[in-house]
Structure 1
């Protein structure tokens, strides 16, 4: 058809954890990849710390302490999302911020699929081999489970 663009709108999911490395990834994305007309979905995943979920043989579960910790983590996540909205404006990116809950890697891949994303951008904090082996890495999970291209920005 004459006069119509054959270029499809790109949907890009940018995973943000609130770290300075993630902010650097967003800035790099804004300067090098983002194009006017892209649909950008910035996601931050609230993943309550696993050690709050169960007691041990030495100490019983303190339900009030767990509730306070969950509330603090939720408040922190809300602050991160607010900052991310400000960063979108700062870098002149048109998009939306979504707060997800659950395992970050799985939630990011699922959100990308649900939004029909063209690719995913994620930062890498360089946590080290031992810690990554024990705890896992969100960027590793995304790279190995995503069906679309993943750009891992290493600061």
Structure 2
């Protein structure tokens, strides 16, 4: 929490390549960080880059040649995701942005980013899974809501009306 009126609080926004994450970023920029609102937040965009071992389902002959290629691809993907997120911020005239790319499980990476940056708020998107899918796949937003040491805002993309 900010101790000085002139010191900005930190807001961490989890970003990945999903439409839900991008919606959450757009929503946050439009509602909480617009230049007109004279925001009191410094924005940290946090991306969890998968580990090579989590991305490669085999270990055996030839792995030594494949792992560096997979790692380079994961780094390119992370750069593409964060560059896109920074561009979205720039287009909304939000320039006080820090990018944090950390290797690991998104649940842990986001909660650790809250601690590292002393964040007051964590913003994550929601896929809108039902209870069964959430139980099987795990929910980053649910985990963060229970484990992050700050307020957590879960931004849900509205479902289209039929």
* TM-score normalised to structure 1 length: 0.82
TM-aligned CA deviation for residue 70 of structure 1: 2.7
Which residue of 2 is the match for residue 76 of structure 1?
A: 77
**Matched pairs, number:** 147
Q: Distance in 1 between matches of 2:57 and 2:71?
A: 10
Q: How does 1:42-81 map to 2 (within 5 A)?
A: 42-48=45-51, 50=54, 52=56, 54-55=58-59, 60=60, 62-63=62-63, 64-81=65-82
Which residue of 2 is the match for residue 32 of structure 1?
A: 31
What's the Cα RMSD here? 2.2
Which residue of 1 is the match for residue 160 of structure 2?
A: none
**Contact map agreement 1:14 1:122 (CA 8 A) in 2:** yes
**Contact map agreement 2:125 2:141 (CA 8 A) in 1:** yes
Stretches of 4+ aligned residues off by more than 4 angstroms:
5-8
**Contact map agreement 2:15 2:82 (CA 8 A) in 1:** no
CA 1:128–1:77: 2 relative to 1, 3 Å: farther
* TM-score normalised to structure 2 length: 0.79
Q: Distance in 1 between matches of 2:61 and 2:111?
A: 33
Moved more, 11-20 or 125-134: 125-134
Gaps of 5+ in 2: 158-162
